[in-house]
Amino acid sequence: MFKALLVEKDEGGTVTAAVKELSEADLPHGEVLVAVDYSTVNYKDGLCLSPNGGGLVRHYPHVPGIDFAGTVEESSDDRYAKGDKVVLTGWRVGEAHWGGYSQKARVKADWLVPLPEGLSTRDAMAVGTAGFTAMLAVMALEDHGLTPEKGEVLVTGAAGGVGSVATAILGHLGYQVAAVTGRPETAEYLTALGATRIVARGDLNETVKRPLESETWAGCVDAVGGDMLARVLGQMKYGGSVAAVGLAGGAKLPTSVVPFLLRGVNLLGIDSVLQPFANRQRAWARVARDLPMDKLSAMIQPAVLSDLPRLGADILAGQVKGRVLVDVN
Ligand code: NDP
């Protein structure tokens, strides 16, 4: 028997989440059984834990947790053997499939990535999907020609999970990082991570009035979307790129094509869920190399399974700072 956070729906449609004892026979099919060490709390986990499952969870009872890291216990797939350290993000695990808020998980071998040298299961979940996606965003900006000499890079939603890791990675790589936050009290935290300038959310989340403003940012990692992304597009330097990661401020993009046509701005879509294996491996190796572990420690808020219903609501309210590290044991 082992413990998991089980979300159940009663006949009246009321959804409740509680830590329950499960057996291996309760787990779904898959080639690899993993003893989970850590999971975390991402924005999507907040949605999955919400009363209607955020439109993502279709079947109850359900075990949420969109990512986890742990040790292989059994594998019928040659790529993995007992004792291997692995990480899982994406593939709709924790949404359509049972996820990481559990001491054991059974999953497809295709969904796993072996942990790179130098990264523990604890480090991997301190990074989590949010941090892994921040790394994908930085890689996409680099692939489109961003270098530190090109100028300041903007990070929106900077005190959140994606933003905190993006700030730390970019700072470590020698970039000037302008961090946008709606929480002025996080300025010291962001500066310690690597931000060289703090930008107030209010300066950027007004509706676009002019399609082009002065050329300010060489690149941007955007976790917010909506009006803020629209404003940022008009402030990009000639040929600069924005990596669109999230929608914490809205899914709409109320802008025009002018920044693309007159300034050659690139809008790069970042998806972490269906990334091919080779790129996942490349991103985790880059995390191990380019994210200083002391910076990672400063971002961590520890938690246990029973804290998750509260933390799910907090992340949807934009109240989680940095990364939550869930010790499921
Ligand atoms: P967090 O809640 O940790 O961070 C989001 C941050 O955005 C908040 O901390 C806050 O930062 C800012 N924010 C919140 N609400 C607003 C608002 N109304 N207007 C402007 N800024 C706001 O979430 P994550 O970092 O985990 O995820 C960020 C986004 O990225 C989410 O939308 C998530 O779904 C998406 N995502 C996408 C992935 C992909 O594959 N594309 C993978 C992972 C995440 P501050 O307080 O500093 O202002």
Could you tell me whether strands 300-303 and 323-327 are parallel, antiparallel, or unpaired per DSSP bridges? parallel
The best mutation among 48, 162, 180, 272 to test binding of ligand 1, ranked by most ligand atoms within 8 Å of the C-beta, falls on: 162
Strand ranges in the chain using DSSP code E only, listed in sequence order? 2-9, 15-22, 32-40, 67-75, 85-89, 104-107, 112-114, 153-155, 177-181, 197-200, 217-222, 236-244, 266-269, 300-303, 323-327
Residue among 140, 142, 182, 143 at smallest CA distance from 163? 182
32-40 and 104-107 beta bridge pairing: antiparallel
Protein residue whose Cα sits closest to atom 9 of ligand 1 = 160
ipTM for this model? 0.99
Q: Which domains does the chain have, with CATH numbers?
A: 2-114+292-327 (3.90.180.10), 129-269 (3.40.50.720)
Question: What pLDDT score does 205 carry?
Answer: 87
**pLDDT one-digit tens code per residue, 22-76:** 999 999 999 999 999 999 999 999 999 998 888 899 899 999 999 999 999 999 9
Q: Tell me the best of 39, 185, 245, 279 to mutate to test the pocket of ligand 1, counting ligand atoms within 8 Å of each CB and taking the most.
A: 245
Low-confidence stretches of the chain (pLDDT beneath 50): none
Atom of ligand 1 nearest to the CA of 179: 47
Predicted local confidence at residue 158, as pLDDT: 97
pLDDT the model gives residue 159: 95
**What would the DSSP string read from start to end of 31-61?**
SEEEEEEEEE--HHHHHHHSTTGGGT--SSS
